[in-house]
Structure 1
């Protein structure tokens, strides 16, 4: 991509994972509401490439999208228990401002960070923990309707719908990534949910790279690694985006060590 990529929410967990894996692959323009730590910046990023602004600031957002070829939109309130006034302002209104500014500026595509919380209410007491299995029974693939588990999930489902609108009416290419449980180095220790929904930093960067490079129109995909037991399908991401995850939570022990590094059982 010849034009810069705008990354909003660049200082957050997902933003840091993307920059660590793809720092040299793109010319970045970074936006965050707080100044970014020096160790979060890829080599070659100067002060002129960093925008300190709130995504709810329409003027700042419109200035930030000028001249970019794509946007990775991560900014918002990431708290699953965030109150309605915050998700309404930061996650819904801010996302609409971003999509509208991108469409008006002639940006080619927006990659929107959605969340597993947009479909979290599919996880019922009756299905948990047996829902996380190696066969395809009960597996969600992105074609199902949203079923949010909290108001944060409502905001992410709304962002997906905004993406659909701006694709259909303004010809934006839009990918919505329902991110699972992103952790660095190893999966969470709890097995049933954390490991089934694990997304490694390496696979996270690769997935967003494919969202920026692949040829598609509008897609909803799941952002998880190639875990043996999972409730979310990654086949659509494989087929349409060319996603090729390298990590699998089943390769780790409960202590977070790769199985080949774990201490053998005593005789």
Structure 2
């Protein structure tokens, strides 16, 4: 059996680098990015242009979608082009190409207002441990509560994944990534 072919959008980024160093011996990795990644087949393309990125998906088993504007305080325009239109194009290119699974890199910012607005999580976030009343109810992460346009874009990606699973049968895994520090 041949190695599974995995396309990583954002292969040149921080998390892409972690994937390169930890998974390249287990999978046949390729990249879709704005710049070439040495040692890996890389398609150079802007996610906001479906026709530009579509060739990268040919023959791919799994897509790991990391590429995005990572600025969690970014404005509407950058999130619309890079994170919303780009994510839609990744899902659509995967569907057209017959990709079986998409792993979407979401963010804690999709639910970011929970710890900023609601006690006891706000009290924990602020370090006000004396004010916490017990028992503490577990934090539900089922409902989105974005803390900015970046969080909105990640919540959109999760919802789009649900749609592509239900409508087209593509396996979609959404991972809410928090803080990534090297080496992780």
TM-based fold match above 0.5: yes
Residue 18 of structure 1 is matched in structure 2 by 19
Q: What is the CA-CA distance between 1:32 and the residue it aligns to? A: 0.7
Equivalent residue in structure 1 for 2:160, among 159, 162, 165: 162
Residue 94 of structure 1 is matched in structure 2 by 86
Asked if the contact 2:43–2:53 (Cα under 8 Å) also holds between the matched residues in 1, the reply is no
String of CA shifts for 1:21-45, please: whole Å, max 9, x gaps: 1121110111111233x4xx4xxx3
Equivalent residue in structure 2 for 1:60, among 52, 73, 82: 52
Residue 82 of structure 1 is matched in structure 2 by 74
User: What secondary structure is seen at the aligned counterpart in 1 of 2:158?
Assistant: helix
Find the aligned partners of 2:113 and 2:94 in 1 and give their Cα distance. Answer: 31
Please give the root-mean-square deviation of Cα atoms over the aligned residues, in Å.
Answer: 2.2
Residue 62 of structure 2 is matched in structure 1 by 70
After the TM superposition, which segments of 4 or more aligned residues of structure 1 sit over 3 Å from their partners? 135-142
Residue 110 of structure 2 is matched in structure 1 by 118
Structure 1: gaps spanning 5 or more residues:
186-200, 202-267
String of CA shifts for 1:193-213, please: whole Å, max 9, x gaps: xxxxxxxx2xxxxxxxxxxxx
**TM-score normalised by length of structure 2:** 0.87
String of CA shifts for 1:29-73, please: whole Å, max 9, x gaps: 11111233x4xx4xxx3xxx1111111121122111111001000
- Aligned residues between the structures: 175
Evaluate the alpha carbon distance shift between residue 141 and residue 70 of structure 1 in structure 2; reply closer, same or farther with a 3 A threshold: farther
> 2:151 aligned with 1:130, yes or no?
no
Asked if the contact 2:3–2:26 (Cα under 8 Å) also holds between the matched residues in 1, the reply is no
Evaluate the alpha carbon distance shift between residue 158 and residue 136 of structure 1 in structure 2; reply closer, same or farther with a 3 A threshold: farther
Find the aligned partners of 1:53 and 1:11 in 2 and give their Cα distance. Answer: 13
User: What secondary structure is seen at the aligned counterpart in 2 of 1:88?
Assistant: helix
Asked if the contact 1:33–1:53 (Cα under 8 Å) also holds between the matched residues in 2, the reply is yes
Find the aligned partners of 1:12 and 1:168 in 2 and give their Cα distance. Answer: 30
Residue 246 of structure 1 is matched in structure 2 by none
